[in-house]
Structure 1
Amino acid sequence: MSEPLWTAREALAATGGKLAGSTDWTADGVSIDTRSLKPRDLFVALTDQRDGHDFVPDAAARGAACSLVARSDGMPGNLLVGRDTLESLRALGRAARDRSDAIRVAVTGSVGKTSVKEALAAVFRAAGPAHWSERSYNNHWGVPLTLARMPKATRRAVFEMGMNHAGELRDLTGLVRPHVALVTRIAPAHLEFFRSVADIAHAKAEIYEGLMTDGVAIYPRDDEHGELLLDHARRSAAGFILDFGLSPEAAVNVSQFETAPDGARGRVSVLGKSLDFRIGASGAHWAWNAAAIFAAAIAAGIDAEAVAEALPDVGAEPGRGRVHQVGLPTGGFIRLLDESYNANPVSMAAAIETLGGLVPGKGGRRIAVLGEMLELGPKSPDLHAGLAEPLVRAKADLVIASGSRMTPLTDALQDGIETHYANDADAALTCLTQAVRPGDVVMVKGSNASGVHRVVKALLAAQPAGSQRGEDR
């Protein structure tokens, strides 16, 4: 029988709280959401958009081992009472960190951080007991929750960290205390909260500040702000600094890369040693991701050959480049490139480039459904208009631009590209369903708040029974 994740006394010692009810319970997991809570989970009643204390009765009814609360009046079931539930969750995270010998890897960046995190998780799982951030649990509650869920026997763990204000990563990396800290790439995301992209780079570089003594700092050599990141790394506790990219001068560099709808293959040089690799995801941006994955994995003690062996099973996550064959109600199929999870100018351009590499079927076209990009500040009109050039290079035949921030793009597009403006994602879906025909390749991307993920969901849901051909990868 596997060892429990937490015993009552371990959780009590970690949080300094008080137990009410049973004092000998054990928990196999930690949950903040009763909808996904499993029996024998420790339920943490966070107060965020809603007050988690309102759900303690539901947690008890669903078999929670205990509820971590800030007040106990009238609460059913076993309780662990602390002054603040978020601080108690952070205390559990610190205790889980300190009791484990796991090598901890922290990943941040404006683009690629979730894809790189998921790939590293797959590589780590192939090498032994591993732990990783679920979905995009990368914020002030997601990171401590991931830490608190880490089993004692974990050998390697990877934590995704996000931010939209200076100081956020300083706090998160100080909690995780990583042995390896990686910045994937800097891009103009969250410019609404920063004066410049350089300020974003400074904020991302905070991830190095939490490094364990003699840890490894990894930065993208080819990035425009690589030298800035390097300067921060040199001022950290890092004992070793590793760079990656496409440049031959990088310690870990991808020198050859070919992408196709069913994956990609390339050649990487790792500290002077060259080897071929395959990966189950496609898009030119995966060359950059692959270099980052190799760099972080070898820093975590996994040899390059083992990394290459694990990568063929790494595919694109939903909303991050997954390709579907979708049946149309009128007959025939289209190919749907789902890039709908969030967007900034760099990731948008990369998705458009991937669209350009996909070949439509007979009579088909390349169609881009683009939702507006948010949090770009005063440069937003220019950054949206700047997508016109990538669309021309990709030989897009039809662009459906959704949201008011997209009007600079529709103004900038040349007459050779058919362009339609939609007020919102629902209107974009209507426009697409009226225009789409068999053989088309459709790419969907936009900021989460643009709602274009609903276009993907609707296309997949509308398939005629029996028409699903499955995914290309």
Structure 2
Amino acid sequence: KSELVQALTPDGLAILNYDDPNVRVMNTKTQARVLYYGTSEKADVRASTIGGDALRGRSFVLHYQQQSARVQLRIPGEHGITIALAAAAVGVAADISLEEIAAALETLTAFKRRGEIKPGPNGSTLIDDSYNANRQSILAIAQAMHETSLDPAGKRWAVLGDILELGPYAREEHYATGKALASLVDYLVAIGEQARFYIEGALEAGMPDENAYYYSARLENQLELEAAKKAAAHLLKDQVRSEDLILLKASLGLGMDTLFTMLYDA
């Protein structure tokens, strides 16, 4: 990514995330003007007074130079703030007023299957983030779930399929993800071949055996994969209650959208 910054001409503009130290130092690789965004007071375009709901959208005050404007997002997760600040920095560079930028940011909604909030089984709430997955994105949305207030009886469920294209790092990445999830969710449902390592990691971190479910399936065997999804859907329809919050997430190749459909089959 630094090669893109390096390729900029002196009259160009590099918009960099100040909160990421690896990105911040890219300013040394360019002759172009640098505009930083982030939550640090040292960022040019920054957010302060962060509040709101991690699941349904954070609120914050947007700052640039002597201007400020309040923003209420409608996209889930802390990463929504980062996305909004990057967009705001582009707006600032285009001489758009902070008020116009704030108004535009408030119209942002999640793309299909990328953090969509939907009705789940038995009156529960489901986060459909099934378009793609990696360890960072899984843990970001799980953290948002963890920070979301539920009814005292409410439980948090993570329903995850394989993360694909990891090569020799597949076991390590799935295991580390499961281990981190043990402190963020109450139940873990894993579907696929490498997904068994989610379970290993979660159990190692202290998740009770009875809260972890694994449905084995090979990606190349469509019948096996659909049977695993059907079994997981049956579990959810049987166990989930109205107070619960469910995350549905996997790499696109798992086709988790069919599991969502199964949740509403008779």
What's the TM-score, normalizing by structure 2? 0.82
Q: Which has the higher contact order (CA 8 A, sep 6+)?
A: 2
Matched, 1:247 2:40: yes
- Cα deviation for residue 463 of structure 1 reads 6.7
Show the 5 A alignment for 1:178-327: 204-208=1-5, 211=8, 214-232=11-29, 234-235=30-31, 238=32, 240-260=33-53, 261-326=55-120
Match of 1:405 in 2: 194
| Counterpart for residue 380 of structure 1 | 170
TM-aligned CA distance change 1:249 to 1:404, over 3 Å:
same
**Is the CA contact 1:358–1:441 (under 8 Å) kept in the aligned structure 2?**
no
TM-aligned CA deviation for residue 355 of structure 1: 1.9
Contact 2:51 2:59 in 1 (8 A): yes
Amino acid at match of 1:254: A
Matched, 1:416 2:208: yes
Give the deviation of 1:381 after TM superposition: 2.1
Q: Secondary structure at the match of 1:283?
A: coil
Q: Which moved more, 1:450-459 or 1:336-345?
A: 450-459
Matched, 1:342 2:132: yes
Contact 1:338–1:444 at 8 Å: present in 2 too? Answer: yes
**Residues 336 and 229 from structure 1, CA distance in 2 versus in 1: closer, same or farther, beyond 3 angstroms?**
same
Return the alpha-carbon distance in structure 1 between the equivalents of residues 21 and 135 of structure 2: 15
Give the distance between the partners of 1:441 and 1:226, measured in 2 at CA.
34
Q: Which amino acid counterpart does residue 232 of structure 2 have in structure 1?
A: C
CA drift of 1:344 comes to: 1.6
Partner of 2:221: none
Change (3 A) 1:310 1:446: same
Counting aligned pairs with the same residue, the percent is 26
CA contact (8 A) 1:279 1:312 kept: yes
Q: Contact (CA 8 Å) 1:373, 1:447: kept in 2 or not? A: yes
Paired residues in the alignment total: 250
> Residue 254 of structure 2 corresponds to which residue in structure 1?
450
Aligned mates of 1:310, 1:390 — CA distance in 2: 35
Q: Secondary structure at the match of 1:218?
A: strand
Aligned match of 2:232 = 431
Q: Per-residue displacement from partner, 1:182-240 (whole Å, max 9, x unpaired)?
A: xxxxxxxxxxxxxxxxxxxxxx23444665762211111222421453334x15xx3x2
Q: String of CA shifts for 1:274-305, please: whole Å, max 9, x gaps.
A: 33211122222212112112111111221211
Deviations 1:97-146 (A, max 9, x none): xxxxxxxxxxxxxxxxxxxxxxxxxxxxxxxxxxxxxxxxxxxxxxxxxx
Q: Which has the larger radius of gyration?
A: 1
Distance 1:345 1:229 in 2: 25
CA distance in 1, matches of 2:133, 2:100: 32
In structure 2, relative to structure 1, the CA distance for the partners of 1:387 and 1:271 (3 Å cut) is farther
| TM score, norm. by length of structure 1 | 0.49
For 1:376 and 1:209, locate their aligned partners in 2 and report how far apart those are by CA, in whole Å.
28
CA drift of 1:242 comes to 0.9
Distance 2:169 2:49 in 1: 34
- Per-residue deviation, 1:313: 1.7
Hey, what's the Cα distance between the residues in 1 that align with 2:116 and 2:200? 30
Provide the C-alpha distance between the structure 2 equivalents of 1:241 and 1:380, rounded to a whole number of angstroms: 37
SS of residue paired to 2:194: helix
Q: 290-299 or 409-418, which moves further after superposition? A: 409-418
| Structure 1 portions without partners, runs of 5+ | 1-203, 465-473
Counterparts in 2 of 1:340 and 1:229: CA distance versus 1, 3 Å? farther
Q: Which runs of 5+ in 2 are unaligned?
A: 218-224
1:86-125 alignment runs, 5 A limit: none
